[in-house]
Amino acid sequence: MTTLETKNAVIYGAGGSLGGAIAKALARAGAKVFLAGRNLRSVKEVTDEIVATGGRAEAVTVDATNGNEVDRLTEKIASTAGSLDLSMCVIDYQVVQNMPLVAMNVEDFVRPVTIAMRSHFPTATAAGKIMMKQRSGVILSLTATPGGIGYPLTAGFAPACAAIESFSRNLASELGPYGVRVVNIRSGGSPDSRFFKEARDRDPQAMAPVMRSMEDDTMLKRLPLMDDISNVAVFLASDLARSITGVTVDVTAGTTVGLNYRAPRVD
């Protein structure tokens, strides 16, 4: 069993469904998790769930795009908890998609890229400064299928994913000599996430063929669940993955290798 009992982790955007799932998985593996978000109520709800099941967690109000706030938080974690062993940013990018690029305005296209970089840069570099001194630590990020292949109607989300993956590789190359690992996780859409659940609740008839199409794009004919992503995050945070850095780990169920809609399902 993967154990993180000596690890301290901070998750930015932990009030979201996937961020919360990752925080819970890290806590189940033994880590103390600091759940950070601009909305204290949402991160507090997840924190209370973790504590109620015997985990160790604290909720903190932080804007991941505010470098000063991020610096203060990471320094506080390192000084009070003794170390900062894992940092991951999974905040919302305010994506507008499902429309052709030629029909978009530049503000909607650029927004996800801007938010992605303005959050990942301060959170990752703040953690990196501390981890360099420790000579250990892991910085994780999360992207999706459009980061690896051309995927129509994904608008500004696709270049945001590509930017995150490039930043992750470059940061890994600089922090590697200090014993710090930097890894990106590339996911497909998780059908049990809040985004997809709310979309199905709003219009189940319209969403049914959308979900079917996304599943058919994969090689496994299914989409990765939040637990699939969370389990990979736990593994990468652990010493079992101590030689993995500078790469993107694909958890898309096969879409990054190539869209596979032509291969029929096997019932």
pLDDT 10s digits, 150-204: 989 999 999 999 999 999 999 999 999 999 999 999 998 899 998 888 888 899 8
Residue in the structure block whose two tokens are 């970089």: 117
Side-chain-side CA neighbours of 154 within 13 Å: the count stands at 20
AA identity, residue 18: L
pLDDT at 82: 96
E-strand ranges in 159-262 read: 180-187, 248-251
The residue with greater pLDDT, 256 or 238, is 238
What percentage of the chain exceeds 70 in pLDDT?
99
Write down the mean pLDDT value for the chain. Answer: 95
Report the distance separating Cα 11 and Cα 34, nearest Å.
6
The Cα 41–Cα 82 span in angstroms is 26
pLDDT of residue 251: 97
Please report the pLDDT score of residue 1 as a whole number: 57
Query: pLDDT digits over 90-114, tens only?
Result: 999 999 988 999 999 999 999 999 9
Q: Do the Cβ atoms of 164 and 147 come closer than 8 Å? A: yes
Q: What is the CATH number of domain 8-251?
A: 3.40.50.720
Q: Give SS3 for 140.
A: strand
Task: Provide the 10 A C-beta neighbour count for residue 245.
Answer: 21
Measured CA to CA, the distance from residue 130 to residue 72 in angstroms comes to 12
Of the pLDDT bands very low, low, confident and very high (cuts 50, 70, 90), residue 260 is confident
**15-19, 121-125, 175-179: segment of lowest average pLDDT:** 15-19
The predicted structure's pLDDT at residue 257: 84
Tell me: pLDDT of 145 over 60: yes
